[in-house]
Amino acid sequence: MIQIGTVVNARKSLLRFEQVTPDPSWAFDYLKPSQTGYLTHSYHRYPAKFIPQLAQRLITTLSEPGEWVLDPFMGSGTTLVEAKLLGRPSVGVDINPVAYLVSRAKVTPIPPGYLREKVHRLLDAIRTGEEQLSLFSEEPQMPEYYPEPAEENVQDRIRYWFAEPVLTRLWHIHQAIEQEQDEAVLYFFRCAFSNILKPCSYWHNRSVKPTRDLNKQIPDPLVLLQMQLRKMMKGNEQYFNRLQVHHVLDIPAIPYCADARALPVEDGSISLIVTSPPYVTSYEYADLHQLTVLWYRYAQDLREFRPQFIGTAAVNGKEADAQSDLADQIVQQLAQRNRKKAAEVAIYFGEMRQCFTEMYRVLREGGRACIVIGNTAIGKVPILNAQVFVEQMEGMGFVLEDLILREIPSKILPTTRDSKTGKFARVDDADAHAYPHEYILILRKI
């Protein structure tokens, strides 16, 4: 049962949202893409990632060197990289195996000379192999380890996205990469390969959604891979040298492919959480990353893959228990317009509460959770994510220590969305502006 004092505190905290004004110092509007994509942060495209300077400021301000930092929605690993640079050991968790692949590559420094030699050997192996077969054979040779899936033909799905000649070359590059024995280098190569899949496919270059463009000019995969490897080698060298100079090369940065609702972390072991949770129904991460998912057999059927994600529209069979009066009001209001979307929002808030329960468990007493989240709307019904999160977290023993309103001048998000569904959309299809600002919630475990 929630205590009366807790309810009073929650109401006070919700009133703070009406009084807060944007803090220009958190906008970081002076930064250029080269500054937000420095070191290893530009290894791989990833939707909705927050800028490293934001994570850096929170980590520096709210923790000390040697204290453990956690990101339960690590995405592309931004928090982990910044924590390592600042001498804080860190743990990252994401249910998306593509996030794990990218994060593992980004957080792992490799001696530059050693990596350079490995890259040369890989490219030599690819070229040598190409001399032994026709570069553009009519039938791509599928590797034997790729089994026929039970419900969805993955090989047909791959052919849906790739032209046959390009597919042949990609398979050849892929097989050469998979011969690498050093795991750190292997994940580096896999990350590079994953990032060239979209430009080498029929996926529309300007679309975040999985949309085909059959008239697209497809670049040479090997040329693209060489360019990607050069960029990543430069980032790795700068990252390695920065870590070495500051004597933090050996600071742990540990990514897990796991569920934020069941964190693989010991009770009371974390001093600071810095994270940006998914938005409800805005992205279907299983769909957005399906090219890499298909290539690496992370799923055989995307229909079964989607329900694992928080914020997905695939909610059949799930139960909702948000334990938030405000969340219940939002769901009831939305149900009058769209019962399906109301169910999705209800499940979302219920699953986010499970995540907050886990955050509370792993935080030490006095530890802080920093949640970066914006509000949105579906069917013209305001979805007050930030306010609901505060109500949920204060109900379980957190106290709202600080509330920051941050304007978003250049966040890597589409700027338009469909107000009926809440999903991001192309400019021509959109009728609403997406998230001109977001909140930074700083809550302390008491």
Domain annotation for the chain: domains and CATH numbers: 4-97+253-284+312-445 (3.40.50.150), 112-240 (no CATH)
Dist. CA 159–CA 369, nearest whole Å: 44
Contact present, 350 and 321 (Cβ < 8 Å): yes
What is the C-alpha R_g of the chain?
22
Mark out the alpha helices in 146-220 (DSSP H runs). 154-161, 164-177, 183-200
Identity of residue 365: E
pLDDT for position 26? 95
pLDDT for position 411? 43
Burial class (CB in 10 A: 0-12, 13-18, 19+), 361: middle
Phi, psi of 228 (to 5 degrees): -65, -45
Identity of residue 199: P
Q: 223 has which bridge partners? A: none
- What's the Cα-to-Cα distance from 277 to each of 98, 274, 374, 414, rounded to whole Å? 16, 10, 10, 17
Q: 257 has which bridge partners? A: 94
Q: The pTM is what? A: 0.88
Beta carbons within 8 Å of 380's beta carbon, 6+ residues apart: 337, 419
What parts of the chain have a pLDDT lower than 70? 1-11, 130-153, 281-284, 311-318, 410-435
How would you classify the pairing of strands 270-275 and 432-433?
unpaired
pLDDT for position 315? 63
Give the H/E segment covering residue 218: none
Q: What is the pLDDT of residues 19-39, one digit of tens each?
A: 999 999 999 999 999 999 999
Identity of residue 394: E
Q: 274 has which bridge partners? A: 370
Contact present, 200 and 150 (Cβ < 8 Å): no
Dist. CA 320–CA 422, nearest whole Å: 20
Q: What is the pLDDT of residues 406-429, one digit of tens each?
A: 998 754 444 444 455 444 444 444
Q: What is the pLDDT of residues 258-287, one digit of tens each?
A: 999 999 999 999 999 999 999 886 566 777
Dist. CA 403–CA 386, nearest whole Å: 10
- The encoded tokens of residue 340 equal 């399906």
Cβ-defined contacts of 315-320 (< 8 Å, 24+): 315/343, 315/344, 315/347, 318/347, 318/350, 318/351, 319/347, 319/350, 320/346, 320/347, 320/349, 320/350
pLDDT for position 258? 96
Q: Residue 372: name the closest of 64, 52, 87 by CA.
A: 52
